[in-house]
Structure 1
Amino acid sequence: MKVTLVSYGSLGDDVPLVALALGLRDAGHQPVIVAEQGARALTAEHALEFHALAGDIAELMRPGAPIAQAVEAGRLTLGSFKNYRRDDRAWLETIAAAAAGSDVVVGMPVAGCHALAVAADIGARPVIAELQPLAPTRAFAPSGLGDVRVPRALNRMLGRVVDHAGWAMMARSVNRARRELGLPRTSNPTRGARRLGAWSPTLVPPPDDWPANVSVTGAWRLPASARWRPDPALQAFLDAGEPPVYVGFGSMPSFSGTRPLMDALLTGLAGRRVILTGSAAERVAASEDVFVTGFVPHDWLFPRCAAIVHHCGAGTTHAALASGTPSIPVPFTLDQPFWARRLHDLGVASPPLDPRRPDPDAVRAALAHVRTDRVRERAADLGRQVAAEDGVRAAVSALEDLSG
């Protein structure tokens, strides 16, 4: 079975796609990845066939660009919609060339309409893969809107509006590109497609009003690399004292409040050993109690920490939960407030901190919260449960059933 996997996003989108591709290959299938150019190194590391979509995600994260606007505002804005540019024709051409002969085409939401339109063109089975729950339900509002709380009766309607709006915003440009390529006009290609939810059912159980075409597999995690070794300085820091507090915000761009936020975090964590990574480490000087590092696999580092201060991206949220280490959520935008609330509601995290209202006292209170026996025991308990889930295997089985 040939399966083409399509995404356009940052490392948090690339890792689960590569994890699924490896699972497919191990099961004897032929995976092909089509993604943003930043995925090239990761796919090459695992010897996977890769095709790059036109564009540069880094351009969308620079100050004033669409993703940076959403981070600055804490939500999607009209500007982040209007200024988001895609080369629809190039995307359709690249996906079609890579997917030729595919039995199944899997698309993540940003490039999902392009991927599933191609699936219809070539007669492949269409699948939408989602790292966060987006299918309409009475249980909660669409996760991509953040921690939205409306009367329960309105949740499903709001989900349908979001479902419709996604295609409505790109329909004209996608169909213009299809016309240029000599292809017929398409209606929403994702309507009725099989949906795979790549998150833990422990974290978000499937609502009972979801149709049969929606299934939750568990998170798609890469297997631990046997070749990875920690920097000796990092290992020495970990060995030198009590488990540190991790602070990292993944691939999130810096925003105007980054400096005050980091000042508040470091002040609130004073007296604790701290490891900083990514944008959290920018312009922060290392010291005896503060270690600044580059990339370290979450599944290696998080179990060695006392608490995880993070932005609650889907991947980091699952890695923190699986590690058995409590979280201190600092959600910035989009689905991050949704995950932050889920972690807190499960009893494995403090109430979320507001990155736009940094407060050292709130940091101290959050740290005291996650150091209680109740939270630590709950985190360890759920960590064992989530770590035992095999989302990749479940997703491969679902795709095999679909093509069979």
Structure 2
Amino acid sequence: MRLVFFALGSRGDVQPYIALAKKATQYGHSALICTGKTFEKLVKENGVEFKEVESDLMAMLESDEGKFIYNSALKHPLITKNYVKKVVNPAFRKTLDQFWEGAQNADVLIYHPKAFGAPDMAFALGIPCINMPLIPVVYPIEEFPNLIISTNKNFGRVLNKFTYTVMSNAERSNMKEVNDFREKTLKLPKRKAGIYNLAIEGNKIPIIYPLNPMLFEDVKSWGNNIFLPGFFYLDTDELHLDTLIKQFINEGSKPIVISFSSTPLKDPLDFRNKLKQALIKTGNRGIVLTGTSGIPLEKDNHFLAIHAAPHTLLFPLAKGIVHHGGVGTMATALKSGKPQMIIPFAVDQPFWANLLYKKGYSLKPLNEKDIEVDALISRFKQMEEKETRKNADLVKNILDKEKGTQSALEYIEKIVKEW
């Protein structure tokens, strides 16, 4: 069986696809991941075929213009609109043709919801496709609203379900590119936005949420329309920690690890200064994975700032974890068995921050604007409390038993066989 994956977004968006693709190759299948060049090395070093596509969110965020848009889109709508028109949309149009090239000879297409056009390609090829959002935003349910609309409110069963209609309009901004691709490449007529959101010509599109069911025990309205195999973790056999990190860990007590990945901070120097004060006053040390947060790289006895490191290797060595609340980072933090505190910024992050706090799986979250030295000191002290550590260890024991990628692969094999 040949699986072709269309993955767009940050590392948190792409890595679960790599984990599943790697598992597929281990089971004797062939797998290809089509994504931005930023992730070429990561894909290939995990033994998976790679195909570069033009849409590369991380490369855009590294540019001055991209950073400005990310931080100021709402304040400068005209500049944002112009950037999307001149940079984002043309890149996506090229990506559609590159996806199509990668889709040849596929038995199944597995796609991120941002990969508009994937169902059109599956229809043209006569093969199944599977929608694999990393967060629960596609299928309409009654228990909570679409996270795109609200991450912390409950509008009631009817309105909650209605908020998911936003997904039907999600591809509207790229419908010009999708229809141009349909006409010129697929030789199909134009279509309206959203009609392939849940089904293709009346046939339901299977949906996989790579999440653990324990977080959604109260959700009943998914019925049998959603498959939750568990979290996807990327094997760490080929990964290693930087010598600088190993040296720092060996020099003293277990550090608190702080990771904001691809999330830029509004005032990174102010955060660093407050963080260092809180660490020193509580007798802790810290490792900061700076990513694109803007925190400058530095090292002293209390503090190590380094660009990146594998969360799966570093988190278990930590005393506690502070992160932005992205679903992949959140899942890895849960599996590490270490206390965690979330500082959410946008998109789904506040949802996970609130959900984990309510379930007792994380400390009370902080917003960036509310970060003060005393607040950080309070959280760092809570990480040492017996009940906090007990809850973190309980979750780890549950997640150690799950086989997310294997369960998902078996589900995909079943879909392809029935097709």
Q: TM (normalized to structure 2)? A: 0.88
Pick aligned residue for 1:241 from 238, 248, 252: 252
Q: Which amino acid aligns with 1:215?
A: F
2:305 matches 1:292: yes
Moved more, 190-199 or 64-73: 64-73
Unaligned runs of 5+ in 1: none
Corresponding residue for residue 176 of structure 1: 180
Instruction: State the Cα deviation string for residues 267-308 of structure 1 (Å, max 9, x = none).
Output: 222231111112457325321111223432212111111110
Alignment of 1:14-53 (within 5 A): 14-53=14-53
Pick aligned residue for 1:354 from 353, 367, 370: 367
Q: TM (normalized to structure 1)? A: 0.91
Corresponding residue for residue 266 of structure 1: 276
Pick aligned residue for 1:125 from 124, 128, 132: 128
2:319 matches 1:314: no
Alignment of 1:2-401 (within 5 A): 2-62=2-62, 69-71=69-71, 83-84=83-84, 85-86=88-89, 87-111=91-115, 113-134=116-137, 135-145=139-149, 147-153=151-157, 154-160=159-165, 162-181=166-185, 182-187=187-192, 188-192=195-199, 193-205=205-217, 207-225=219-237, 227-252=238-263, 254-270=264-280, 271-279=283-291, 282-283=295-296, 285-401=298-414
Unaligned runs of 5+ in 2: 200-204
Q: Which amino acid aligns with 1:395?
A: A
User: Residue 369 of structure 1: CA displacement?
Assistant: 2.7
Matches of 1:379 and 1:212, distance apart in 2: 30
Q: Which amino acid aligns with 1:28?
A: G
Conservation of the 8 A alpha-carbon contact between 1:146 and 1:336: no
Distance 1:373 1:399, change over 3 A: same
How many residue pairs align between the two structures? 400
Matches of 2:78 and 2:333, distance apart in 1: 32
SS of the aligned residue for 1:322 comes to helix
Matches of 1:136 and 1:288, distance apart in 2: 50
Moved more, 325-334 or 43-52: 43-52
Q: Which amino acid aligns with 1:224?
A: T
Conservation of the 8 A alpha-carbon contact between 1:71 and 1:333: no
Instruction: State the Cα deviation string for residues 346-367 of structure 1 (Å, max 9, x = none).
Output: 2121111111333111112222
User: Residue 73 of structure 1: CA displacement?
Assistant: 7.4
Distance 1:347 1:238, change over 3 A: same
SS of the aligned residue for 1:31 comes to strand
SS of the aligned residue for 1:348 comes to coil
| Percent of aligned pairs with the same amino acid | 24
Moved more, 308-317 or 233-242: 233-242
Conservation of the 8 A alpha-carbon contact between 2:279 and 2:302: no
Instruction: State the Cα deviation string for residues 283-339 of structure 1 (Å, max 9, x = none).
Output: 253211112234322121111111101111111100000000111111111111111
Conservation of the 8 A alpha-carbon contact between 2:290 and 2:297: no
Q: Which amino acid aligns with 1:110?
A: K
Conservation of the 8 A alpha-carbon contact between 1:257 and 1:355: no
Distance 1:147 1:7, change over 3 A: same
Matches of 1:83 and 1:230, distance apart in 2: 38
Matches of 1:351 and 1:78, distance apart in 2: 37
Bigger relative contact order, structure 1 or 2, given CA contacts below 8 A and separation 6+? Answer: 1
Conservation of the 8 A alpha-carbon contact between 2:268 and 2:295: no
Instruction: State the Cα deviation string for residues 239-291 of structure 1 (Å, max 9, x = none).
Output: 23221100111122x24322222322222222311111124573253211112
User: Residue 186 of structure 1: CA displacement?
Assistant: 3.3
Conservation of the 8 A alpha-carbon contact between 2:341 and 2:362: yes
2:419 matches 1:402: no
Matches of 2:164 and 2:47, distance apart in 1: 38
SS of the aligned residue for 1:109 comes to coil
Q: Which amino acid aligns with 1:148?
A: N
User: Residue 65 of structure 1: CA displacement?
Assistant: 5.0
SS of the aligned residue for 2:132 comes to strand
Instruction: State the Cα deviation string for residues 24-71 of structure 1 (Å, max 9, x = none).
Output: 112222211111111211122133221111133234325775676455
Q: Which amino acid aligns with 1:190?
A: N
Conservation of the 8 A alpha-carbon contact between 1:72 and 1:256: no
Conservation of the 8 A alpha-carbon contact between 1:105 and 1:115: yes
Conservation of the 8 A alpha-carbon contact between 1:66 and 1:81: no
Q: Which amino acid aligns with 2:360?
A: G
Distance 1:264 1:152, change over 3 A: farther
User: Residue 167 of structure 1: CA displacement?
Assistant: 2.7
Matches of 1:301 and 1:335, distance apart in 2: 24
Distance 1:18 1:65, change over 3 A: same
Conservation of the 8 A alpha-carbon contact between 1:66 and 1:80: no
Q: Which amino acid aligns with 2:29?
A: H
Conservation of the 8 A alpha-carbon contact between 1:119 and 1:125: yes
Matches of 2:248 and 2:206, distance apart in 1: 47
Distance 1:335 1:244, change over 3 A: same
Matches of 1:322 and 1:146, distance apart in 2: 27
